[in-house]
Amino acid sequence: MKIKIRSIAFFLLITATIPVSGQVRLPRLISDGMVLQRETEIKIWGWAPAGEEIAIRFIDSVYGTTADSNGTWTVSIPPLHAGGPFEMQINASNSITISDILIGDVWLGSGQSNMELNMQRVSPLYEDEIASSANQFIRYFEVPDKYNFNSPQDDLQSGQWKKANPENVLGFSAVCYFFGKNLYEKYNVPIGLINSALGGSTAESWISEEGLKGFPQHHAEAQRFKDRTLITQIQQADRTRINAWYRQLRDNDEGYNNPGTPWYSPEYNPTDWANMQIPGYWADEHLGFVNGVVWFRKEVDIPESMTGKPARLNLGRIIDADSTFVNGIYIGSTSYQYPPRRYTIPPEVLQKGKNVIVVRVISNIGKGGFAVDKPYELVVGDEKIDLKGSWQYQLGARMETLQGETFIRWKPLGLYNAMIAPLIRYPIKGVIWYQGESNADRPMEYRRLFPALIADWRINWKQGYFPFIYVQLPNFMQARPEPSESNWALLREAQLKTLSEPITAMAVAIDIGEWNDVHPLNKQDVGKRLALAARKVAYGDDEVVYSGPIYESMTIDHDKITLTFKHIGSGLMAKGAGELKGFAICGADSQFVWAQAKIEGDKVVVWNDTITNPIAVRYAWADNPADANLYNLEGLPASPFRTDDF
């Protein structure tokens, strides 16, 4: 039962006569600082003893309801215009006051690590943006990382709304923040950002049990993991195996066990150590392909001007884990390969003259070492010492490859139940999504899986076709000298095809990735491009150019193929000086070779003088289409495509 009570006197009457029989409880989302979706029916819900009467006062209106036999209750509040802050009073056997409420637009950000990545991680690029981030009208809620295979959860275990400011924003998803900031600057409407993302997650982990029925293999796996005993057994076996590996590694490590002087000590004399150029991988050196622990050591001469001050030690990205020492003092460690190594050296550690930096690197699988094209430097104020170049190194312990953890949290259904189901009663403006890396080994399945996820969320939210805007996979891995097949290109194609779903849009990111890092730092342009798309599909801006060129059709004329595009904006251009790049063409043998291409009006003509009867064209069809440079004049890149998808 949900009734609106217009009489304030009646509100006071019923709140005065409610029996003290239990406690009303609210979900985590409905709390201080929340943003409620404007111009749509708002749901306020919670739990109370069966039959308990609840009265809610909000913006000069009062609403009443009674908890049902299951102890749940819901109140519907009619659509409201943007504004705030407001206060909400909830009265039953106990009273709850929710303060600082805004009415605006609520966006859900979800996906895997590139959506999860926070502003702290990308902070070196955005120091000014962080310093000027204070804005009480941008709010952020972080959904805790949990999974559950047994049932959809009705609440979150933790979480609170936070205002944007230089302290809080460091924990905001960088994509979410820049997206919300762009929208606020455009529309001057409060923005609520709910981030529900988990690194490494697959699309199937975010789909409900009903939605997974169209994918029998994933549905069956979800049923298997309903067995909590199985989960416990797997986790215990993983811990036992992994702990034993690291214990053996520590016991065998000559660097720690060297009689008298450990290798991280500045007094240790590395007389028989080899030399290696950093950055690089020891598999490419005399040591060869070895897993275990390798120690690295470099002596650095420090001028007096760099002493007595805090210093920053940037060690790029290290595969897989490291512990770092300066002059024998432990500075910091990182346990896995992806985060950038940024360590702070206390003022008293550096000394004039000789200083010793030692890095203990653990490789548990694959090639260990230091990722190239990353910063390796010691920084004090405006002074900087480049640490790239020759380092000494020595094997500390050789180990067998470590079988990794069984990532149960990425299994089908688990994240939907724990991280999406508790949100579905909370009205939203739309979704921004950044995911696909973990499905890139199954790109053809993603053609069905991704649209199924979108449909599943829309069904469960019961809001109709809310906008769903997503990021196409960025450029990643080594650029190849010749046209080749690519799972990442196929996954991008699956994302491109998903534009056939209603009220969707895609932000192309093939020019803002990093070839050597699956977590590119440029999240500002990602947020900006998502916001451009939102202006179109969520806010109805028919004037905005929100997409780069999208392939539409082709015609073959003798030895040339002419391509037409949608979303050309003010026109097409080849970004940078020179000719169009990134196009490949093939004849009847289906062997693609690089092609010449030129813009003719709003079309692109493609050819290769050695192919007289071309049949198909591909553009930016690679893991890392580094040279692809077709854009519209508004500066948005064309999506990769192929015409041979028969």
Q: pLDDT by residue (tens digit) across 256-304?
A: 998 889 999 999 999 999 999 999 999 999 999 999 999 999 999 999 9
pLDDT for residue 577 = 72
Of residues 125, 133, 8, the one with CA closest to residue 60: 8
Alpha carbons 394 and 254: distance in angstroms, whole number: 10
Of residues 389, 375, 265, 380, the one with CA closest to residue 314: 375
Average pLDDT for the chain: 95
Contact 527, 179 (CB under 8 A): yes
pLDDT for residue 11 = 43
Alpha carbons 101 and 26: distance in angstroms, whole number: 15
pLDDT for residue 260 = 85
Contact 396, 263 (CB under 8 A): yes
Alpha carbons 419 and 392: distance in angstroms, whole number: 47
Domains of the chain: 2-104 (2.60.40.1930), 142-218+412-537 (3.40.50.1110), 260-399 (2.60.120.260), 550-642 (no CATH)
- Going through 303-382 in order, the beta strands assigned E by DSSP cover 311-315, 318-319, 321-326, 329-334, 342-345, 353-363, 369-370, 376-380
What interhelical angle do 524-537 and 174-187 show, nearest 10? 50
Could you identify the residue written with the tokens 């829309």?
Answer: 458
Q: Which residues, at least 6 apart from 21, have a Cβ–Cβ distance to it below 8 Å? A: 49, 52, 93
pLDDT for residue 646 = 56
- pTM assigned to the model: 0.94
| Predicted confidence (pLDDT) per residue in 23-39, tens digit | 999 999 999 999 999 99
pLDDT for residue 3 = 43
Alpha carbons 488 and 496: distance in angstroms, whole number: 12
Alpha carbons 566 and 500: distance in angstroms, whole number: 14
Q: Measure the CA dihedral 599/600/601/602, to 10°.
A: -60
Do β-strands 383-386 and 318-319 pair in parallel, antiparallel, or remain unpaired?
unpaired
The most distant pair of C-alpha atoms in the chain lies apart, rounded to whole Å, by 89
Of residues 556, 598, 566, the one with CA closest to residue 581: 598
Alpha carbons 49 and 480: distance in angstroms, whole number: 64
pLDDT for residue 645 = 78
Per-run averaged pLDDT (10 residues), the chain, 646 residues: 42 40 87 98 97 96 97 97 98 96 98 98 97 98 98 98 98 98 98 98 98 98 98 97 97 94 96 96 96 98 96 97 98 96 97 98 97 97 97 98 95 98 98 98 98 98 98 97 97 98 98 96 98 98 98 97 98 92 97 98 97 97 97 98 87
pLDDT for residue 163 = 98
pLDDT for residue 259 = 87
Alpha carbons 403 and 200: distance in angstroms, whole number: 17
CA angle 64, 68, 69 (to 5 degrees): 155
